[in-house]
Amino acid sequence: MACSTVSIGELATGSDEESVRFFLRRLRKLPVTEAVACRAGALDRELAKTGRRLGENDNWIAATALHYSATLVFADGDFMKVPGLKRHRIEAKAH
């Protein structure tokens, strides 16, 4: 199991750093590299042609998963727009 650097930032938006680090302690971190950045740009161009762009963070997260050939686990339906993305949708339950 792994987590993209961008996802870590999203988690940190909703929690304190200590909690985020504890939650992620056993996960491999997938860095944003130059190759991921190029993949993100290409993905954004591709989706823009069809009027189905992702939000900026989601674009980076999808590009990271594509670059590392990882399965993206998500609850947000926006990732269904990404061709070639291996994905697993989970149902988020409200408390």
Q: Please, where are the H alpha helices in the chain?
A: 5-13, 17-24, 34-49, 56-67
Question: Rounded to two decimals, what is the model's pTM?
Answer: 0.87
Residue ranges per domain, the chain? 2-89
- Nearest CA-CA partner of 81 in 42, 46, 36: 46
CB of 30 closer than 8 Å to CB of 64 = yes
Measure the N-to-C terminal CA separation of the chain; round to a whole number of Å: 25
Beta carbons of 85 and 70 less than 8 angstroms apart: no
pLDDT tens digits, one per residue of 55-79: 999 999 999 999 999 999 998 788 9
CATH: 1.10.287.110, 3.30.565.10, 3.40.50.1010, 3.40.50.12160. Which one for 2-89? 3.40.50.1010
Q: Mean pLDDT for each consecutive 10-residue tract of the chain (95 residues)?
A: 92 93 93 96 96 95 96 90 93 71
